[in-house]
Amino acid sequence: MTKNTLQLEKFSSLQRRIIGLWLLTIFVYLAYVGFTDESLSILFLSGITNILLLPLYWTKFRQDEMNNRISNPVEHFRVENNLVTIGDSKLPLEKVKRVAIDLQDNIAYCSLPFNHIKPGVYPSFTFPAELAEALTRHIRAKLPLATIIE
């Protein structure tokens, strides 16, 4: 394969699906224009394409959520050497003032919404709901001055 050709291996599965959907949409549009001698408005075409993209984005969202799910939240949320460690994210102990823990059906969600790693990104993870109380006790023991938002 030459350097100038499109190499789909570099794209993720979701990106390949989106490219395929766009190509399919363009093909259908060109076929429609070719057979009917009418054209569709750009707004209509954009709306149809976006409606078709929604299931792909929902799949991506669910996949990200599953990748962020852990089985032992007490081990995942550690406090040692004046650092709060959540997975790969490390924050100074004195910066962590609030911890959010939320329960939705059988899934619990823990995050530090006021401690952004970069704009719009903050440490968070999901875990089994039955372990939420154990994590709350762990956080209260390790971070007695932090407010737990439920």
In terms of domains, do 63 and 119 share one? no
Number of domains composing the chain: 2
In terms of domains, do 34 and 95 share one? no
Looking at residue 50, its pLDDT comes to: 78
In terms of domains, do 54 and 119 share one? no
Q: Indicate the residue among 48, 67, 86 that finishes a domain.
A: 67
Checking if the pLDDT of 138 tops 90, the result is yes
Q: Which residue did the predictor score with more confidence, 57 or 51?
A: 51
In terms of domains, do 92 and 128 share one? yes
Q: Report the distance separating Cα 60 and Cα 54, nearest Å.
A: 10
The pLDDT tens digits of the residues spanning 29-53 come to 788 878 887 777 777 777 877 787 7
Non-local (6+) Cβ contacts of 112 within 8 A are 84, 86, 91, 96, 98, 99, 100, 122, 123, 124
In terms of domains, do 137 and 79 share one? yes
The answer as to whether 2 is a domain residue is no
In terms of domains, do 81 and 114 share one? yes
In terms of domains, do 77 and 120 share one? yes
Looking at residue 1, its pLDDT comes to: 47
Q: Indicate the residue among 28, 43, 67 that finishes a domain.
A: 67
- Predicted TM-score (pTM) of the model is 0.58
In this structure, of 8-12, 15-19, 39-43, the range with the lowest mean pLDDT score is: 8-12
Enclosing domain of residue 91: 73-149
The answer as to whether 4 is a domain residue is no
